[in-house]
Amino acid sequence: MKKSKLMPIIILVLVVVLAGAYFVGSKGNKSSEESTDQSSANGKIPKVGVLQYVSHPALDEIYRGIKAGLKKSGYEDGKTVDIELLNGQADQSKLATMSQQLISDDSDVLIVIATPAAQALANETKSVPIVLGAITDPVSAGLVKSNKKPGGNITGVSDKSPVAAQMDLATKILPDAKKMGILYSSAEDNSDYQAKQVKKAAEEKGLTVALYAVPSANEITQMVQVMANEVDFIYIPTDNTIANAMQTVVEVANKTNTPIIPSVDTMVEQGGLATVGINQYKLGVKTGQMTADILKGKSKPATTPVYTFDSGDVIVNEKQAEKLGITIPEDVLKEAKIVGE
Ligand code: TRP
């Protein structure tokens, strides 16, 4: 009798002790990484808001890379992360409203593609983490205090061009060229910075340099016509306004056989002659991975240095070279990725 009365109590005590041990154990097993995971804290999948400045092949490629980088790090769109992409179509007032929308949608982390989008979004929040996707120079754009120690809610990836290598290549391919013209938009801080950098690099190579800044996309055709008469070749920085109108630029420049040395692979594919450029997709992948680290609580923007790619790949558009009657030296071709065959 005594035994059978005690049994249920003993079993109950055992169950409680075991359940308690299991609970504590499972909590203890969680790594510190998971415990600060912004997503699992409330049981929802995390939300990433993306603001893209405009559509052109380079920025679209960066976005594709961002999604791949996030997926590689465990965040697959629609399954383990909710990605919301808004495209400002180069319209300042749209960028401002879209920034507000992304913030009111409670994004856990925000991503910006291109400088004007970054500046619009940075204006709206000092607390939600922002990851920069391919921003030429975050410091001169007023986004971070320094690339090493950003200090605020912003970090990310810079696509600063390897301008010295680009000028090496330009002078190798166009040995008779004396004057280079830089075509860019005066409204983009990223281009203003790069124009200054490449001017210095070109002058060190013995070239004369002139700046041709357009106030908007409307003046591009006329400006390229002027340049075609005044320069031996056209250089284009990572300028969104020009990248968006690349087809027009190539058409106009081709009329006078004026070569174009752009700053990225995608612009060579669009009809530029050649460059040493950073792979746009890879820029996106890195941006996605940095975003994942912030989502996991592994890093914080204030103390995460801006990542800079310091080398690029040589890329040559063979069809353009033929059209312009330019023979690309063998040693350049050997290491180059060839497009437009
Ligand atoms: N670096 C540009 C910016 O800061 C964005 C950009 C990335 C870009 N890749 C490009 C612009 C290629 C033109 C072409 O805004």
- 137 CB near ligand 1 (under 6 Å): no
Question: The tokens of 283 are what?
Answer: 């820029």
CA distances from 12 to 8, 9, 24, 237 (A): 6, 5, 18, 73
- 278 CB near ligand 1 (under 6 Å): no
- 238 CB near ligand 1 (under 6 Å): yes
Calculate the CA 65 to chain-centre distance: 9
Q: Dihedral (C-alpha) 331, 268, 263, 113: value to the nearest 10 degrees?
A: -140
Q: How confident is the model at residue 311 (pLDDT cuts 50, 70, 90)?
A: confident
Alpha-carbon span 327 to 341, nearest angstrom = 14
pLDDT of 12 over the 80 cut? no
Helix (H, G, I), strand (E, B) or coil at 212: strand
- 194 CB near ligand 1 (under 6 Å): no
Q: Which residue has the tokens 């400006």?
A: 223
- 161 CB near ligand 1 (under 6 Å): no
Nearest ligand 1 atom to the CA of 137 is: 4
Nearest ligand 1 atom to the CA of 141 is: 4
Q: How confident is the model at residue 22 (pLDDT cuts 50, 70, 90)?
A: low
Q: How confident is the model at residue 28 (pLDDT cuts 50, 70, 90)?
A: very low
How many residues in the chain?
Answer: 341
Whole-number Å distance, alpha carbon 188 to ligand 1 midpoint, is: 10
pLDDT of 42 over the 50 cut? yes
Q: What is the model's pLDDT at position 9?
A: 61
What count of other Cβ atoms lies within 10 Å of the Cβ of residue 331?
9
Helix (H, G, I), strand (E, B) or coil at 5: helix
Whole-number Å distance, alpha carbon 136 to ligand 1 midpoint, is: 7
Whole-number Å distance, alpha carbon 31 to ligand 1 midpoint, is: 38
- pLDDT (tens digit per residue) in 188-204: 999 999 999 999 999 99
pLDDT of 21 over the 70 cut? no
Closest by CA to 292, choosing from 140, 64, 71, 56, is: 71
Q: What is the model's pLDDT at position 293?
A: 98
Whole-number Å distance, alpha carbon 135 to ligand 1 midpoint, is: 7
Weakest mean pLDDT among 37-51, 108-122, 301-315: 37-51
Q: What is the model's pLDDT at position 31?
A: 40
Nearest ligand 1 atom to the CA of 264 is: 12
Question: The tokens of 333 are what?
Answer: 């071709």
What count of other Cβ atoms lies within 10 Å of the Cβ of residue 303?
11
pLDDT of 73 over the 60 cut? yes
Q: How confident is the model at residue 16 (pLDDT cuts 50, 70, 90)?
A: low
Sign of dihedral through CA atoms 134, 139, 141, 144? Answer: positive
Give Cβ neighbours of residue 90 (< 8 Å, ≥ 6 apart). 53, 54, 116, 217, 240, 241, 244
234 near 253, Cβ under 8 Å? yes
Q: Which residues of 40-72 are buried (b: 16+ CB within 10 A; e: fewer)?
A: eeeeebbbbbbbbbbbbbbbbbbbebbbbbbbe
- pLDDT (tens digit per residue) in 150-192: 999 999 999 999 999 999 999 999 999 999 999 999 999 999 9
List the domains of the chain with CATH numbers. 47-159+280-308 (3.40.50.2300), 163-277+312-339 (3.40.50.2300)
Alpha-carbon span 312 to 67, nearest angstrom = 22
Q: In what order do the strands lie in the sheet with 179-185?
A: 208-214, 179-185, 233-236, 260-262
Average pLDDT, the chain: 91
Whole-number Å distance, alpha carbon 276 to ligand 1 midpoint, is: 15
Alpha-carbon span 29 to 309, nearest angstrom = 37
Q: Which amino acid residue places its CA nearest to atom 14 of ligand 1?
A: 238
- pLDDT (tens digit per residue) in 271-301: 999 999 999 999 999 999 999 999 999 999 9
Alpha-carbon span 308 to 293, nearest angstrom = 17
Give Cβ neighbours of residue 18 (< 8 Å, ≥ 6 apart). none
- What mean pLDDT comes out for the span 44-60? 97
Alpha-carbon span 244 to 254, nearest angstrom = 18
CA distances from 275 to 111, 143, 319, 336 (A): 27, 28, 15, 9
- 240 CB near ligand 1 (under 6 Å): yes
Alpha-carbon span 124 to 32, nearest angstrom = 31
78 near 265, Cβ under 8 Å? no
Alpha-carbon span 262 to 239, nearest angstrom = 10
- 190 CB near ligand 1 (under 6 Å): yes
- 157 CB near ligand 1 (under 6 Å): no
Longest dimension (CA), the chain: 111
Whole-number Å distance, alpha carbon 298 to ligand 1 midpoint, is: 28
- What mean pLDDT comes out for the span 215-219? 96
